[in-house]
Structure 1
Amino acid sequence: MPTKKLALLGVLIALCVVGRIAFASIPNVQPVTAIIIICSFWMGPVTGLILAAGSTVATNMVLGSGTWTITQIIAWSVIGLMSGLIGKWFQKTPVVILAIYAGLCGLLYGFVMSLERLVVGKLFWPYYLAGIPFDVNHAIGNVIFFMVLFPVLSRLLKERAAYMIQ
């Protein structure tokens, strides 16, 4: 991996960490998912995977980690991979459609996080249903963060993505 791309990933991970910590007091509202979607869209699925794992590990060092850390890595990695593939195949997708997609990713994230209950032998459906209001917060936050961050990050990443393609 080129040094410039590695440095850019480090800055993007730091942006995710700062954003997640800054909004930690609002349940499930944080810019990490939107940043992963935007960066993966312009830089590819592998970048999304690295950004998802790096952001999760780095933020959980501050906010606390546990069994949910693995599930967070999986959820954000899936979102990063999907977003990277959308960017490769459908780069002309309208921003409004991508914002709706970002909202749906908030709901997907909550569902994947709830799957941990199946693994540890707890009740899945009560846990998932109780978490729906938090998932809706995540979805709404994703749409807002996406609409705010997409123009800024796209301008920065679109130019760099051309010479940093996987």
Structure 2
Amino acid sequence: MSYKNSKMRAKDIALIGLLSATITGGKLALSFIPNVEIVTLLFIIYANVFGIKRTFLVSLIFTTTEIFIYGFSTWLIVYYFVWPLLVVLSGTLGKKVKSEYGFAILGGIYGLGFGAFFAVAESFFYGWAYGITYWVRGLPFDIIHGVSNFILILILFKPLQKVISHQGKRIILD
């Protein structure tokens, strides 16, 4: 029986917990720099190395962990949507895109559009005028987010993917 068709094993559960912790730790480590994060990079790599199913679960655990750290608010709804969406896009594109440039473009666009996702959610709670104001006011941060995602992915994608893929395959197949 192939591993892909088998049920989740204890190793998978431990791996998902470890990957969730690395994303949370990575976000916290860079939290002193506004809108510069490695969450996007790690989700893209994890989706391509460990698959959409496992990484989708990682995104849900990461978001739930964020609630414990930052509290409950309207941003939560967006996080439960935006990170799983990135996982699905990354895992799907990973079969077609083999270059770090394609993933850097995805990360850059994702960072640029991040505020727009939140603006839509905020509009449901506080009205469209507030949502548009929220988005426009955050554009400088979205630009920083998009550019930093692009640069980080361009520089770190290949070396991190190589290490994570090598070590990850050993964990999965053992």
Shorter-chain TM-score tier: 0.7 to 0.9
Q: Name the residue aligned to 1:4.
A: 11
AA matched with 1:95? E
- 1:110–1:41 CA distance, 2 compared to 1 (3 A): farther
Q: How far apart are residue 148 of structure 1 and its match?
A: 4.3
Backbone CA RMSD of aligned residues: 2.3
Structure 2 unmatched runs, 5+: 1-7
Aligned to 1:94, which of 74, 96, 99? 99
Q: Name the residue aligned to 1:104.
A: 109
Matches of 1:157 and 1:19, distance apart in 2: 15
TM-score under structure 1 length normalisation = 0.84
SS for the counterpart of 2:36 is coil
Instruction: Name the structure, 1 or 2, with higher relative contact order (CA <8 Å, separation 6+).
Output: 1
Name which one, 1 or 2, has greater alpha-carbon Rg: 2
Q: Is 1:24 the equivalent of 2:28? A: no
- 1:144–1:8 CA distance, 2 compared to 1 (3 A): farther
* Residue deviations 1:76-106 (CA, integer Å, cap 9, x gap): 111111111112x31x521122112111111
The total of aligned residue pairs comes to 163
Matches of 1:20 and 1:84, distance apart in 2: 21
Structure 2 matches for 1:1-166, cutoff 5 A? Answer: 1-87=8-94, 89-90=95-96, 92-122=97-127, 123-159=130-166, 160=168
Counterpart contact for 1:49–1:81, Cα < 8 Å = yes
SS for the counterpart of 1:66 is coil
Percent identity, aligned pairs only? 27
Counterpart contact for 1:21–1:63, Cα < 8 Å = no
